[in-house]
Amino acid sequence: MSSILISGKEIGQAIRSELSIRIDRLKNRGITPGLAVILVGENSASKTYVANKQKTCEALGMHSRLLSFESELTERELIQAIHSLNNDPEIHGILVQLPLPNHITETEVLAAISPAKDVDGFHPINIGKMMLGQDTFLPCTPFGVMKLLEHSHIEISGKHAVVIGRSHIVGKPMGQLLLQKDATVTYAHSKTANLKEITLQADILVVAVGRTKMITSDYVKTGAVVIDVGMNRDENNRLCGDVDFDSVKEKAAYLTPVPGGVGPMTITMLMVNTVKSAENELL
């Protein structure tokens, strides 16, 4: 058996095509959706992510603005920059690229973003709304994973979903979104005992741990859906995920590749959230 590959590249492209119609409609009404991305310091992975976000904005005819600061920037200066974007009518979405330098408190910074422009879905108010199942900006990576499952017609209700990883960005919200679609959700993490016993029960296995090829086929139930959120470099410096693709593809029914799986969906959902924020102006 060989898995059906879930292509985030193709599904993301389809979602962006539909989105461009919404962007045209907004432009006809005098609104160009605008995203501001804040980058602090010299993290090279962050620079690549930010460049990709800008490129995608431009390809869709959206307005993008990069605010790039030296790592010595103070927390106060950063929060001031955010306040000014909160009041800027050209900007509908604000994203602070993480991680931030150690002297800056992430929670303070994220809470300074207006919840109405928090297209990352990291503001405590938006996290609360997500937990309550209310309409809000959903965190882009878990939101993108839900879209991958939906577009692949994978049933979630009644399935056992195991999420490995409990980060604020991916793992925690991922479990919540699956729960809202009536999955039975188990969270596993670095302190989980007998990980393999748990993952072998998963109908849907989402892996977001950041460890190269950690999940081999012996962690996977035959016929499972395996979603690989990892983005690592292997010994040959090639991009790879947290899942050992070559072994797992013989066992899983569905599998996301890296690259070309979850990655393109994260950026796509950021664009979706930014357009949604711009459309809120018309309400």
* Residues identified as active-site: 53, 97, 120
SS3 per-residue string spanning 203-226: CEEEECCCCCCCECHHHCCCCCEE
Alpha-carbon gap, residue 166 to 163, rounded angstroms: 8
Q: Kindly tell me which of 126 and 141 has the beta carbon lying closer to ligand GUN.
A: 141
Written as one string, the DSSP assignment of 65-131 is EEEEE-TT--HHHHHHHHHHHHT-TT-SEEEEPSPPPTTS-HHHHHHHS-GGG-TT--SHHHHHHHH
The residue sitting closest to ligand GUN, measured at its beta carbon, is: 98
94: closest CA among 71, 126, 134? Answer: 126
Sheet holding 204-207, edge to edge: 4-5, 254-255, 225-228, 204-207, 160-164, 184-188
Alpha-carbon gap, residue 238 to 282, rounded angstroms: 45
Alpha-carbon gap, residue 108 to 26, rounded angstroms: 32
Smallest gap from Cβ 141 to ligand GUN, in A, equals 6
Smallest gap from Cβ 27 to ligand GUN, in A, equals 26
Smallest gap from Cβ 121 to ligand GUN, in A, equals 9
Smallest gap from Cβ 46 to ligand GUN, in A, equals 7
Q: Would you say 167 is a known binding-site residue? A: yes
Q: Kindly tell me which of 5 and 98 has the beta carbon lying closer to ligand GUN.
A: 98
Alpha-carbon gap, residue 144 to 12, rounded angstroms: 9
Tell me if 68 sits within 8 A of 76, measured CB to CB: no
Residues near ligand GUN (CB under 6 A) are: 95-98, 120, 140-141, 169, 266
Q: Would you say 12 is a known binding-site residue? A: no
Residue type, 148: L
Q: Kindly tell me which of 100 and 162 has the beta carbon lying closer to ligand GUN.
A: 100
Q: Kindly tell me which of 12 and 202 has the beta carbon lying closer to ligand GUN.
A: 12
Smallest gap from Cβ 224 to ligand GUN, in A, equals 25
Q: Kindly tell me which of 14 and 45 has the beta carbon lying closer to ligand GUN.
A: 45
Q: Would you say 217 is a known binding-site residue? A: no
Annotation: binding site: 165-167
Annotation: binding site for NADP(+): 165-167
